[in-house]
Amino acid sequence: MVILAIFSQTCAVGLAYGINGSMVTWVQAEFNTTRALASAGMPAILLTQALVAPFIGDLLRRKSIRLIMMTGAALFAIGHAALYFVSSIYAFIAIYACLLGPAYCMLSHVATSTLVINWFGDKRGRALGIANIPIALFLFPPIIAAVMLAFGPRAVFAAGALLSLGLIPLLAFVISRPGGARGLPSIAGEGTDVRADEQGIIKRRDMLKTVTFWIIWFGNGTFVAAGATMAIVLVPYALSKGIALEWAAVALSCYGLGSMVGAPTWGVIVDRAGPSRTFVLLATLEAITWTTLFLFGGNAAVIMVVGGIIGFCSGGAAVPLLTATLGVWLDERNFSRGLGLLYLLKLPFSAGIPIVSGVIFDLFGSYQLLLVSFVVLMLLNAALFSFLEIRRFVSSGEASR
């Protein structure tokens, strides 16, 4: 199931991010539009994913994961086929929002993480880390560029439709859970503050009443925002410090490489240390790294190392650590519902903080305040997850008496 999750997620992420990143200038020229509208495809996907994630999360709990993922692949194929024929930038964006956004949610992190959680009791973190290795961001851009050069830009959409169709028979082998529908018990009674009904189902409003939910929301949201912000501002920050463009590009490559290494590594760590202690370790490491960038950011070697570490931490750890944490806090009956809710509520972090970074630069002429802000956020994360770990330890001690 991990292999199928990798295939599904790689195709979804590769087509979504790869096409948007590689074809912005062509879209702008083809539709005679602004750069902002030409770049709106991926934000439309992320916005729609956040809005439909709670609904998809409920479906994943009640219906066949195989059917949902196959439906997502079919929608992805229809969406890319429609992009091949589109002649208006507004229709282009609408296709991304109405077809590709929901399909992306059915094929990527929400669905694949639920599948892995259902299948793995022990070593969940390792399995989630492997399933979430971001190899698509390395594989797809050069392939898309080659297709554009050989067959023309619109051929990329046709290729995306064919690839999505080819994914459907593979997803037919998905099995929602192993025979017997085993599930791990939740950690209720071990420091958690969530309560289930007689059938073991936790309502969304009850999740929202818990301290644990909001700490997980804040922690994952800030780590995702840190990774997204670093990917956006690393090159302009390096250039503002007088570092040559080629070295700035190498630093961004270090970020991508760090993300690939980080996903499976943090998955192993969370299996061994547990979610709360892993969050504390991760937050402390990031606080030190952002501080280093603030103090020594004018050095090309420092920027490359910092880019790699932030990629290793935020780029690589965000999804496996979030899903592993939810997998401990919630059992498999409630996991997809909680994950869908978190994807909706963390939208201000994933979309808002990268925008705020640009506002900070416009107001102050540098990113220094942004760096300090991330140091503070990471220290706050370390404190919050230390609180969760202490509470779990105290509760476990009382239960053993």
182 found inside a domain: no
101 in the same domain as 165: yes
Q: Choose the final residue of a domain: 155, 171, 187.
A: 171
17 in the same domain as 145: yes
Number of compact structural domains in the chain: 2
210 in the same domain as 166: no
CB atoms within 10 A of CB 94: 14
235 found inside a domain: yes
Domain at 137, CATH number: 1.20.1250.20
375 in the same domain as 250: yes
142 in the same domain as 235: no
149 in the same domain as 244: no
241 in the same domain as 163: no
Q: Tell me how long the chain is.
A: 401
Distance CA 386, CA 280 (A): 6
149 in the same domain as 254: no
Distance CA 315, CA 230 (A): 9
* 19 contact partners, CB below 8 Å, separation of at least 6: 41, 144, 156, 157, 160
112 in the same domain as 70: yes
Q: Which residue has the tokens 């791990």?
A: 184
Q: Which residue has the tokens 């490489």?
A: 257
pTM: 0.76
Backbone φ and ψ of 82, nearest 5°? -65, -40
20 in the same domain as 163: yes
Distance CA 196, CA 206 (A): 8
392 in the same domain as 256: yes
Distance CA 381, CA 222 (A): 8
H or E element that contains 51: helix 41-62
162 in the same domain as 39: yes
pLDDT tens for the chain, 401 residues: list them: 788 888 888 888 888 877 876 777 788 889 998 877 887 887 788 888 889 988 998 888 888 889 999 999 999 999 999 999 999 999 999 999 999 999 999 998 888 888 888 887 667 777 877 777 777 766 787 788 888 889 998 999 999 999 999 999 999 998 887 764 433 333 333 344 555 555 667 888 888 888 888 999 999 889 888 887 887 788 888 888 888 888 887 887 888 788 888 888 888 888 888 888 989 999 999 999 999 999 998 888 999 999 889 888 887 677 777 777 777 777 777 888 888 888 888 888 877 776 788 788 888 888 899 999 999 999 999 999 999 888 877 766 555 55
Q: Choose the final residue of a domain: 146, 171, 196.
A: 171
299 found inside a domain: yes
Q: Which domain holds residue 90?
A: 2-171
